[in-house]
Amino acid sequence: MKIVSLLPAATEIVSELGLLDQLVGRSHECDFPEDVVDLPVLTRARIDSSLPSAEIDERVRQVMQQRLPIYMLDEAKLTALAPDVVVTQAACEVCAISYDQVKTALRRTAPNAALVSLQPARLSDILDDVILVAKACGAPARGTALVQRLQTRLSAVAARTLSPRPRVAVVEWLAPLMLAGHWVPESIERAGAVYVGPKPGLPSPYASWEELAALRPDAIVVAPCGFDLPRTLEESRPVVDRLRAITERVLFLDGNAYLNRPGPRVVEAIETIGGWLRGEAVPAERGVSGFEAPGIHAAA
């Protein structure tokens, strides 16, 4: 079987299912596990992701107002790969290539391929997507086993919940400010906290710094969507004073790899945040606790 994944989370699911040897193509954003980087890349973005946060936000607005796709698909490569299964998403047109684009392209390039579309909004949806991908790839038993392992780890985190539970907010974008929605509220709850922000399953809303302060969080997780840890620290520098005015307890997290990517590593994010709330050290590759990171002090 030949599998194409156009979503980083789906690529990680395929890997955790032990089907990486059947993966023949990926999106430009699929970067984990490292073995996938040599696979053919089938998508590219219209917007330069190295731009500052505010400029990225403005460019996205402009592209969407013009009714243009944010991502493009290489149909010639897709035709040449002749996949049996293509996994994409219908959750967010900003985060990855849209379902409608892929569906239309497959009619021309791989009409016999099975199209699997993921649309996670809640934490349980992520586990359901594991089952969905596993079935589509002919490995339902592996999917069931993987979900059981992930649920066991989640239960282990819940067994160590603090009392009282701290109030935690998650910042998903910094300029303009956005609070994390979808599966993040439940992830924070499973980590042992009370989430202050949008209700589970709802989209991530824009907010003001005054609105964030009014939520009275005991702790804040800064995890901008699509940014790795160094980029998160870089983008956070101008707002350190604002964060510090709300709480001294801040975790700068590699949200792109762990919290914002609706795949198996969301469980690692929950484990990491749960441990951090209990005062445990944060793995260096995942995040930085507090304001002690080099360069994270407020800009002059």
Confidence category of residue 299, pLDDT binned at 50, 70, 90: very low
pLDDT at 54: 86
> Count H helices, E strands: the chain?
11, 12
Which residue(s) pair with 170 in the sheet?
Answer: 221
Q: Side chain identity at 157, as an amino acid letter?
A: V
Q: Side chain identity at 218, as an amino acid letter?
A: D
More confidently predicted of 52 and 127: 127
Tens of pLDDT, residue by residue over 65-83, are: 877 778 889 999 999 999 9
Residue whose pair of structure tokens reads 């940014």 in the numeric block: 227
Domain ranges, ordered by start, for the chain: 3-150, 161-289
- Burial code of 139-173, b = ≥16 C-beta within 10 A, e = fewer? beebbeebbeebeeebeebeeeeeeebbbbbbbbb
Which residue(s) pair with 220 in the sheet?
Answer: 169, 250
pLDDT at 68: 73
Tens of pLDDT, residue by residue over 132-170, are: 999 999 999 999 999 999 999 999 998 888 889 999 999
Residue whose pair of structure tokens reads 């099975």 in the numeric block: 114
On the 0-12 / 13-18 / 19+ scale of CB atoms within 10 A, 249 is middle
Q: Which stretches of 237-289 are assigned E, i.e. beta strand?
A: 250-253, 287-289
Query: Would you tell me the crossing angle of helices 8-16 and 123-136 to the nearest 10 degrees?
Result: 60
Query: What whole-number percentage of the chain has pLDDT above 90?
Result: 80
pLDDT at 295: 65
Which residue(s) pair with 116 in the sheet?
Answer: 87
| Class level of CATH domain 3-150 | alpha beta
Tens of pLDDT, residue by residue over 10-30, are: 999 999 999 999 999 999 999
- What's the Cα-to-Cα distance from 107 to each of 91, 110, 225, rounded to whole Å? 21, 6, 31
Domain 3-150 and domain 161-289, same fold? Reply is yes
Q: Taking residues 114-122, what's their average pLDDT? A: 94
Q: For residues 255 and 266, is the Cβ–Cβ distance under 8 A?
A: no
pLDDT at 59: 81
pLDDT over threshold 80, residue 296: no
Confidence category of residue 55, pLDDT binned at 50, 70, 90: confident
Q: Side chain identity at 59, as an amino acid letter?
A: R
Which residues, in sequence order, are CB contacts of 83 under 8 Å at separation 6+? Answer: 2, 3, 4, 24, 25, 110, 113
pLDDT over threshold 90, residue 188: yes
| Alpha-carbon dihedral sign for residues 91, 140, 23, 255 | positive
- Provide the mean pLDDT of the chain: 92
Confidence category of residue 294, pLDDT binned at 50, 70, 90: low
- What's the Cα-to-Cα distance from 297 to each of 236, 280, 294, rounded to whole Å? 9, 22, 8
Tens of pLDDT, residue by residue over 233-286, are: 999 999 999 999 999 999 999 999 999 999 999 999 999 999 999 999 999 999
Confidence category of residue 300, pLDDT binned at 50, 70, 90: very low
Q: Taking residues 198-222, what's their average pLDDT? A: 97
The radius of gyration of the chain from alpha carbons, rounded to an integer in Å, stands at 19
Distance from C-alpha of 286 to C-alpha of 143, rounded to nearest angstrom: 26
pTM over cut 0.85:
yes
Tens of pLDDT, residue by residue over 92-115, are: 666 778 888 899 989 999 999 999
> Does 3.40.50.1980 match the CATH number of domain 161-289?
yes
